[in-house]
Structures are given as C-alpha cells and as structure tokens.
Chains A and B, each alone.
Chain A
C-alpha cells in the first residue's frame, strides 16, 4: 500500500511541476530571508565583539572617568607597591583620509605596560622600533597596510576634529592568531604620547585596563583598595560592561529585523498551505478510491504530510544556500545602519552560526508541515468513493465560512487583547501582530464570498454573462481562491504596513527637522560616521566663526557621555541655546515656562522621549550622574520630542556642564544671521575663514536637513529590501495558486468553448477572473495594511525605539498595494488564458 501511495504522490507532483517549483521556491525564499537576516545581524555582532576583545585584550576590569580619566590616576596607581597589572589607554575612532577614506580605531598604548594585556608580535625588515616613542610612528596590521597600499615610512593622514594630522607607518603588527588578525584589522596602534598629542588630550586617558583577581574575595579587596586611589569622577567596572551596553543598544533593531524575516516566512507558509490544499482538493477522487481499496485514514494523513515534508526539505536546503547569498548583501546594509545609529563596526567576513541554520531549517520544515496540517486532515476525512470530488469540499468550506469568520474575529480580539496586555514587551508585540494577520486570513473567505455577491451583479451589468461567469468562478472555487486571496492580501498588507510606517516616520522627521534646525548656518567637524562620537572644534575656529559681522547669535553643542552612578552611560549634549533654538523644542511633558529658568541655574536636564521611555523618566525624577566632584542628582525638568537617537539622550545647559565638568570645548555651532543677510554668501565667506589645516563642514540648515534625511533613508534600506522580498514571496505564491486553479478548470473552460465562447472571450473570462481575484486581494490588503501600520507605529516602534510618530497614510502606498495585487494576478492569469484559448474544446472534454 505504501509504495502505491508513494507512487501516486510522485506521479501527481511530477505532473504539476510549476506548482511544485513555486511551493519549493516559496519555502526557500522564506528560509533564505530568515537565514540572511540572522546571519547578517550575527556577523555584525560578532565583528563588534571581536574588535572589542582585541582592544580590551586580557583586561578584566577598567577604570573609566567623566569625561576622561586623569593620567595622574594612572601614575598614582603605578606607584602602588601591590598594584595589579595596569595599562593606560587613549582610544578614539578616527577618520583616515589618506591614502584612502576609512575609519580606524586609534589605540594609544604604553608599550611597557602592555605585556599582560595584548599580544602583538612585531618584526619585519627595516623595522624602526624607536619610532613608536618618537612621536609620529603608527603601527598597522600587515594585512591592513597591504589593503591601504602603504609601506613602512609612508604617511597616514587622519582627520582629528577639524584638522588634518599625519602619522607615519613605522611598523606592522603581526597578530599571532587568525582571530586577532581580523580583529586588529581596523586598529592603528600608536604610543600613548603620540595619541594624546594627536588628539589634543594632554593629561587625559580614555581608560585604564586592569587585570584583577578572579576569586571573589580577592577581587572585592583589590577593587576596594584601588577605589581609594580614584577621584570621585572615576569608577572601576568590569571590562565587558561597555561592550555589553553597546551590544544591548541594537537589541530592538535585531528583533525588528528578525520579525521582518519571519514575515517573509509567514507568507511562505501561506504558499505551502495553498499548494497542499490544492494538491489535496485536486486528488479528492484519488483519496476516495484509495480509502475504498483499504488505505487507512492515518496513511492518507501521513502521505500528505510526507509530500509536504519533501517540499519543505527541498525548499529549506535551497533556502539555506540562498540565505548565505542574501546575507552577503544584507550584511552591508545592516552594518551601515549600525554604523549610522549605534557604533562603528566593520564586518570582514560572515560569521556562520550553526544555531542560525538549525533554527531556520526547523522553521522552514515546521512551517511547511503546519501549512500542510489542514489539507492533510482534509484528505484523511475523505469518505471512501467520494465521487462528489471537490464539490463536496467546496460545500464544506462554504458551510464553514461562518465558523472561520467567527474564529477570525476571535483571533483579532485576542490580538488586540495581547497588544494591550503585553506592556512594553517587544516579542509579544510581534506575536500580536502575527496573530492579527492570521485573523485577517481567517476572515478572507467570508469577505470574498460577500464581495462576490456584491460584485456579481455589477460584473453582470458590465460584461454580461461572461462577467457573471468570472465572478461565479471565484465563489464556486472558494477553498482555493480564498487561500490565494488571503496569501496575497496578507503579504501585500505587510508590505503596505511597512510602507506606511516608513512614510509616517519620514514625514515626522522632516517636520521635526524643519522646526528644530532653526539656525541659518551649522558648523561641525566632518566625521565619517554619523553616530555621536563627534570631534571637537578648535577654539580659534569657534571664535572666528562667531565673530563674523553678519552673525547675531549662536547656539553651541557639546556631545558628551554622562556616566551614571549605576555604571552605565547616557548620551548627552551640553548646549548653550539661542532663544530661537529654545523655542524649537516641543515638550511632551513639562512646562517650558518652568523648564527654561531652572535649566541653566540648577543641576537639571531635559531628556528625549526615547530616553524617558527607556529609563522611565518624567519631570521630577532624577538621574544620578558622575561629575568631576562625584555623583550628583540631576533633576529631569521635561521630556522633549526627538528623533536623533533611538537610545535617547539628555540635554543639559552649557552652564551646568561647565559647573560640574569644566571643559570649554564644543562640538558643533549654530549661527543666526542678521535679517536680510545672504546665507549662501555668508557660508562662502565663513568657509574661507576656516583656519588653514582645519576641515569643517559649514552648512546651511537646509543642507543639514538633507544630509540628515540621507542617513534616515539609508537606515531604512534594510526595511525596503525585506519589504521587497516579502512581496516577491507573495507574488510567487499567488502566481502559483492562480496558475493551478485556472489550469484545473480547463475542462470547465472546454465546456464554455464547446457551447460557443470564442477564444478571445475565454481569455477575457480567465483574465477577468484572476483580475477580480487580485483586485479583491488588493482591496482587503488596504484595511489590513493600515491595521498593520498602526500596530507597527503605535506598538512596535514605540516599544523598540520609544518614538511618537505622526501617522501618515499616503494614497500612494495604498494605490501601489492595489496595483501590485492586480498586476500580479493578471500576470498569473496570462499563461492559463493563453493556453486555454488555444486548446480545442474536444481535447479538454475528452476526459469525460
């Protein structure tokens, strides 16, 4: 019996190759997207870990300070008789401008303190060792030097703040392990004196690396002893904390990416469901016959599952391979976004994690089986000698429409309940979103049948009996047509939802930039990375720029990291705001009339919406901040709207910064010009006044806005790609479903031909039918898409990033969605229409 069943399966599948290939492709693309996204994200994470580890070496703990660690802390520590191994570090990401543009991590070390921490074996012909201590010597890994095309003695030009500064390649670092080699590929190693001198940070260290005992009591004792040597502005913390914090920043980003991957897979599941349903329905007579000659229900169930498994396995294997290719492309986009938004990382190679592949394989096969479950149950329940074939199935579905609709409403209610009850939990938010899509799918048969009832008379009016035939075709094959419509509607609504999210986001940011960028001219140092690690402007430059006769007011910013008493840090800006700049801040909480007077005079700050959300801050709450004088409470005065950073940031007055930290330098300057002053002419003359050797960006507010939007668009490029992929899966699914459906109806069409319908008329019927199907899917996709967008904007985005967005539903996105649905349906109908029109009625009816 088994072999007979197997042969029946094989025969069926090979006779319907297009259907088979499309189902396999659907699973493959879904799995590929999951693998591609996970691998790209994992590779970025891994590269970051490697780079961090290469740089922190064997340090177990570090001393950090606000704003930096005074080097006297190190000398005090060095002279302690029983001090642990300690190494002073000066570190910063720098833009290399010559021989080519690239970001390198400048690592300033004291080679004599390095022994216990990092191992770089050096050597090579013409090696000039003393250069490390001589002032302009820099070390690169040999591989990096080769990539840059430079040799010993060649010049490396960096952009430090707004100035060009050069070093000479004095030697090559030869890391002993492959791991260290790839991790050190973005590091330029210099002596600590060179680093301080280059960066203009005399007397300051970025941190002190320590190797402390691992045994808890010894560790506690050692920490306590060292802490006594530290000024109030410094703390000892585990070396891994900073990288953990940074890695944690991308958590929401990662979850969003993965959810988008799942969405593609979900669409794939619909496709499998569709294929299997069709395969089962089409063979109903076969199941009946098999049952009547003794096949058990279990055997039929297993048979359908086995077929699905074969499709799932093939699709998954293919998908894993495709996923690797996809990861290659996605990793660039993911890395770019991480660099734009979070931290600097460069990925040299994909990190292939078995767990990712195992998970994707399980998902692919599991989803396929899930998709096959209902069709398999359906096959199992077939009565012996069920000659009534599909009509029975159709009748059953029609009787079930009400049940399905009820289930759909229940699922929708459940998803709303889940959204409300899940608090700030992001994965549960996505679960609710998927549940919502599922509920929509359950509602599709009912909605389709309802819609056809409305459309049929209209179609009849418009196209006579042909119109009615086309409409009836959909309702009479509801089991298959509703699945195809649901698959297309779900896939399109997901992409529409994402489109609405991006549009709303973009519109909100544009509007916000318009109100925020009020100064006429902005001056900042160019940095190759748009995260907040920005460089400082020289005092001379600031003075010259502010002194221009057309300048009537300024706003200045200093980007800083506030070290919290708890050990983590918060991005912050110390600002001296022009009244116009002040007015641009929109407070979600707090009263400007109360905020501004207290802002400059007391230890207070205002926080962005994201920060308020992440740390549950509101007016009246306090942040314990480490200042030069020790930990002090800073009162939160207000919460402002902001979209610079999803981590959020705090703003404090320049006066407050100077009072507590006393560092005069600034990182950006906004200039307000006298009424009537020509902005472009002023910018031109300001650019000419930039001291020689310095490089700064002097931009108008409009230019800055354009630059900001460019970054914004770049960070959404991943979303766009995924949206496209989900769309591709959907179209594959619909083309497959419609193709199968129409081909199955050849005989029906033969009857129509036999009773006098012309080939052209037949084409119109087929195309009209698929077109109607597509139009219905497009129609359903619009409200579902809006619901998806609302969940994405109000729930997912808020939980991930803490932003309030103005919802903007552009007709363009909705029209696009509808057009896509209609277009793909018509494409899917083209082949069957062409084929059927060519068939002679006799041929198609011969089977009778």
Chain B
C-alpha cells in the first residue's frame, strides 16, 4: 500500500505558506497534479492476473509502482536497509499532440535509499523523468522499468535485476523469488476507501533472495539478504478524512510474512479500510481486518530537517495469530525529503508467536506526519 502520488494532492491542499518543507516540494508536486480523467480504468473488482504480463505496465490505469525494500548484510555482518522504487503516473489519458520527442503522457519517479545500521546513517535519492526519449519508461516484454540508469529488469522465469547508482552510492542486486506471489486484499483487489474504484490491484512477493554488490565511496562490497516486492496499480485517490498511513511488511524467521496497513484519519483514528495479510509457505493467505490487529507506538523520533515527528518503535499485536512483537528501526533517521516527505526504513522484529520466540526483519512506511 504505497500511495505516494495521491499524497502529492495532500501536499498541495495543505500548502500553508509557512510550512517550508511542503513548500519546497511544491514544484514537482504541482506538475503531477493531473485532473481525473474518467477514461482511466478504475480497479472495481478482482481480476485474473497473468505473469509475466502483469509485472509490466498498465497504462490504462493512471498510477502504478514497483516497490522493492529489503535488508542486506555484507561479509563482515554489517546490516543495511535499502529501498528502490519506481512509480509511473499518467498526466493525461492521451499524450499531447506536440511536434517534439519530449512530449510525454507519463511521468516516472524513483526513490533509492540506503540505511547503514553500523553507522546509523541514511541516504536517499530521488529522480523524476518524463516517459520520453528513453529517459524513463516501462516495457512489457521483456519487462523493464527505468529512469535513466536506474532500472529493474524481470526475466521470464521471474528472476529480477535491480540497478541504481547515484553519486558515490551504487547497488546491483539479483533477486530470486523464494516465496509464493501473494494477492493482497480480495484476490488482488485492495480497497482503500468506501467509494468503488478507490482501490488498487495489488500483489507482493514477500521474500526474494537478494545477492549482489553495494558500492560506497569507491569500495565494492558483496551483499546478500532478502527483499520484499510490492506491485500495485490503480486510478484511485485518498478519500476525505484520510491523512496518511502506516504500512508494515514483516518477514518472520519462522517462515511466515505479515503485511499490515493502517489508514489514519484526520481525527487520529484508524480508517475501517485498514487491513493486512498473513502468509506462510504452503498455506493460503489470511486476510486481516482493521480490528484483527493493534499497533501501539512506543517512541517517537523528530526529524531535525523537517521538524516532523514520526513514531519510531511499536508493539504489534495480532491476537488471532498469537503474535506479539516489538518493531525497532535499524536506523531512526530514514526520512525522505523528496517531492513527498515520508519515512521508510528497515525494522528489527522481536517477539513471540504462540509462545515461542520469533524474530525477523521488516520495513515500515509512514506518511502524512
């Protein structure tokens, strides 16, 4: 559940001249606030997904994204959290008729971050390009999505390659699915609001074995770990009263995975459309509703850059699974001061499930703070 694009509208709607961080992000935000065009397809009911075709772009929908988050470790055991995400948004249903190769219908955005637990450091990069002149794009067969030299390639057997480099930082990862593909929500239809169509098609591959190299400041390190792949497309918007969300994707070391999101309302309450999915190899996914889980904030972290205060430690309880755990960020300062300001970082999971100790790693995304 990563609806960064609609959040741009929020940023616009709340553009009080005094709030500097929002102001700084207005520029690009302005560019992307396309009016709704009824010709875009909306996600109204579950559809049969076919692969690899559905890894590829869905231009009939206004927005979609390819979202990779993961934790990696180098040979010395130092731990890293990374994020590499690609977004596509159509500015109009039809491309403008201009006599220029720069004329484009789609705009692509990508975020690339690295958190270094041993140094307690976080680095984030953002790119925008229009889908024109080969600067950015998404192709179906063979599947690829790219912004200049940041790219994702998916082979027909499901293996994937991620590459991104910016300044002194470069990541080159080969990903191989080690869990089943999970259809989120109702057979892949994830509702975000009461209105029909305010929903997305959403699937995940919670575990992907990840091996490759991480280059920092000229030195190349071999890294390995696990990644979570989220894939979503929609033509929906945040509904009135929704101000943001907290999203949790956890890989537990007993082989199970848990995805939860909590839609937050302006009054601080959780929206009833909050939900989640529990999966375990060999078993059917189990859908969780908003009253199936409870999330308690234990601490907060205040960003020195934006001044925003984010929850930074949680207790998570899912009584129906007998699961109680605490989530602690590997690095606290994982705030992206991008066109949309949000927090996204790896967490350490410690707790118990049905009486036995359980650990793991996960990723948390916090928006609207």
Is the A/B pair a real complex?
Answer: yes
Is A203 close to B, CB under 8 A? yes
Beta-carbon nearest neighbor of B127 in chain A: A112
Interface string of A129-142 (1 = CB under 8 A from B): 11011110000000
Is A268 close to B, CB under 8 A? no
Contacting residue for B135 out of A75, A81, A115, CB 8 A: A75
* Chain A residues with CB below 8 A from B28, complex form: 111-112
| B99 lies within 8 A of A127 (CB) | no
| B165 lies within 8 A of A130 (CB) | no
Is B60 close to A, CB under 8 A? no
For the complex, give the distance between the alpha carbons of A271 and B324 in Å.
100
What interface size band does chain B fall in? Answer: 35 or more
Do A75 and B134 contact each other (CB < 8 Å), given the known contacts A129-B29, A133-B96? Answer: yes
* Chain A residues with CB below 8 A from B98, complex form: 135, 193-194, 196-197
| B102 lies within 8 A of A112 (CB) | no
| B30 lies within 8 A of A127 (CB) | yes
Beta-carbon nearest neighbor of A201 in chain B: B100
For the complex, give the distance between the alpha carbons of A132 and B103 in Å.
11
| A129 lies within 8 A of B103 (CB) | no
* Chain B residues with CB below 8 A from A377, complex form: none
From 94 to 149 in chain A, residues with beta carbon under 8 angstroms from any chain B beta carbon are 110-112, 115, 120-123, 127-130, 132-135
Interface string of B1-41 (1 = CB under 8 A from A): 00000000000100100000001001111111111000000
| B101 lies within 8 A of A81 (CB) | no
| B149 lies within 8 A of A129 (CB) | no
Minimum C-beta distance from B91 to chain A (A): 4
Minimum C-beta distance from A255 to chain B (A): 44
| B100 lies within 8 A of A134 (CB) | no
For the complex, give the distance between the alpha carbons of A111 and B165 in Å.
22
Interface centre among B102, B103, B107, B132 (most CB of A within 10 A): B102
Interface string of A51-94 (1 = CB under 8 A from B): 00000000000000000000100010011111000000000000
Minimum C-beta distance from B230 to chain A (A): 24
| B99 lies within 8 A of A81 (CB) | no
For the complex, give the distance between the alpha carbons of A629 and B170 in Å.
37
Interface string of B29-55 (1 = CB under 8 A from A): 111111100000000000000000000
Is A202 close to B, CB under 8 A? yes
| A121 lies within 8 A of B27 (CB) | yes
Is B130 close to A, CB under 8 A? yes
* Chain B residues with CB below 8 A from A135, complex form: 96-98, 103
* Chain B residues with CB below 8 A from A195, complex form: 100
Contacting residue for B103 out of A81, A128, A197, CB 8 A: A197
Interface centre among B29, B34, B103, B128 (most CB of A within 10 A): B103
| B27 lies within 8 A of A191 (CB) | no
Is B159 close to A, CB under 8 A? no
From 175 to 207 in chain A, residues with beta carbon under 8 angstroms from any chain B beta carbon are 191-197, 200, 202-203
* Chain B residues with CB below 8 A from A670, complex form: none
| A130 lies within 8 A of B35 (CB) | yes
| B148 lies within 8 A of A129 (CB) | no
Minimum C-beta distance from B195 to chain A (A): 22
For the complex, give the distance between the alpha carbons of A607 and B22 in Å.
57
* Chain B residues with CB below 8 A from A197, complex form: 98-100, 103
* Chain B residues with CB below 8 A from A81, complex form: 149, 165, 170
Is A171 close to B, CB under 8 A? yes
For the complex, give the distance between the alpha carbons of A128 and B32 in Å.
9
From 66 to 90 in chain B, residues with beta carbon under 8 angstroms from any chain A beta carbon are none
Is B258 close to A, CB under 8 A? no
Do A196 and B100 contact each other (CB < 8 Å), given the known contacts A112-B128, A122-B30? Answer: yes
Do A192 and B91 contact each other (CB < 8 Å), given the known contacts A129-B33, A130-B31? Answer: no
For the complex, give the distance between the alpha carbons of A739 and B33 in Å.
78
Interface string of B187-198 (1 = CB under 8 A from A): 000000000000
For the complex, give the distance between the alpha carbons of A543 and B73 in Å.
70
| A196 lies within 8 A of B30 (CB) | no
For the complex, give the distance between the alpha carbons of A197 and B102 in Å.
9
For the complex, give the distance between the alpha carbons of A134 and B98 in Å.
9
Beta-carbon nearest neighbor of B126 in chain A: A115
* Chain B residues with CB below 8 A from A200, complex form: 99
* Chain B residues with CB below 8 A from A120, complex form: 27
For the complex, give the distance between the alpha carbons of A125 and B98 in Å.
27
Minimum C-beta distance from A491 to chain B (A): 59
| B135 lies within 8 A of A78 (CB) | yes
Interface size of A by CB at 8 A reads 34
Minimum C-beta distance from B293 to chain A (A): 37
| B102 lies within 8 A of A193 (CB) | yes
From 161 to 176 in chain B, residues with beta carbon under 8 angstroms from any chain A beta carbon are 165, 170
Minimum C-beta distance from A719 to chain B (A): 46
| B133 lies within 8 A of A202 (CB) | no
Is B246 close to A, CB under 8 A? no
* Chain A residues with CB below 8 A from B32, complex form: 129-130
Minimum C-beta distance from B114 to chain A (A): 17
| A79 lies within 8 A of B96 (CB) | no
Contacting residue for A110 out of B35, B99, B102, B149, CB 8 A: B102
* Chain B residues with CB below 8 A from A82, complex form: 165
| B99 lies within 8 A of A202 (CB) | yes
For the complex, give the distance between the alpha carbons of A197 and B96 in Å.
11
* Chain A residues with CB below 8 A from B148, complex form: 78-79
For the complex, give the distance between the alpha carbons of A82 and B91 in Å.
29
| A202 lies within 8 A of B101 (CB) | yes
Beta-carbon nearest neighbor of B97 in chain A: A135
Interface centre among A122, A193, A194, A203 (most CB of B within 10 A): A193
Do A134 and B91 contact each other (CB < 8 Å), given the known contacts A121-B26, A122-B26, A129-B32? Answer: yes
* Chain A residues with CB below 8 A from B135, complex form: 75, 78
Is B344 close to A, CB under 8 A? no
Do A71 and B101 contact each other (CB < 8 Å), given the known contacts A81-B149, A111-B28, A121-B23? Answer: yes
| A192 lies within 8 A of B102 (CB) | yes
Minimum C-beta distance from B235 to chain A (A): 15
* Chain B residues with CB below 8 A from A202, complex form: 99-101
| A71 lies within 8 A of B30 (CB) | no
* Chain A residues with CB below 8 A from B33, complex form: 127-130
* Chain B residues with CB below 8 A from A196, complex form: 98-100, 102
* Chain B residues with CB below 8 A from A127, complex form: 12, 30, 33
| B103 lies within 8 A of A193 (CB) | yes
Minimum C-beta distance from A58 to chain B (A): 15
* Chain A residues with CB below 8 A from B104, complex form: 133, 193
| A112 lies within 8 A of B129 (CB) | yes
| A79 lies within 8 A of B149 (CB) | yes
Do A130 and B133 contact each other (CB < 8 Å), given the known contacts A78-B148, A193-B96, A193-B104? Answer: no
Do A134 and B102 contact each other (CB < 8 Å), given the known contacts A75-B134, A129-B30, A171-B30? Answer: no
Is B92 close to A, CB under 8 A? yes
For the complex, give the distance between the alpha carbons of A197 and B257 in Å.
51
Minimum C-beta distance from A189 to chain B (A): 12
Minimum C-beta distance from B171 to chain A (A): 12
Interface string of B104-148 (1 = CB under 8 A from A): 100100000000000000000001111011110000000000001
Contacting residue for B107 out of A122, A128, A133, A171, CB 8 A: A133
* Chain B residues with CB below 8 A from A203, complex form: 101
| B102 lies within 8 A of A130 (CB) | no
* Chain A residues with CB below 8 A from B31, complex form: 111, 129-130, 132-133
Taking A121-B23, A194-B98, A197-B100 as given, write out 15 further A-B residue pairs in contact, using a Cβ cutoff of 8 Å, ordered by the A residue number. Answer: A71-B102, A78-B135, A80-B149, A81-B170, A112-B28, A112-B107, A115-B27, A123-B15, A129-B29, A129-B30, A129-B31, A130-B33, A191-B102, A193-B132, A200-B99
17 contacts between A and B (CB under 8 A): A71-B102, A71-B133, A75-B135, A81-B170, A82-B165, A112-B129, A121-B26, A123-B15, A129-B30, A129-B31, A130-B32, A132-B30, A133-B91, A134-B92, A194-B98, A196-B98, A197-B100
Closest CB pairs A-B (n = 4) = A129-B30, A193-B102, A135-B96, A196-B100
A residues whose Cβ falls under 8 Å from a Cβ of B: 71, 75, 78-82, 110-112, 115, 120-123, 127-130, 132-135, 171, 191-197, 200, 202-203
B residues whose Cβ falls under 8 Å from a Cβ of A: 12, 15, 23, 26-35, 91-92, 96-104, 107, 127-130, 132-135, 148-149, 165, 170
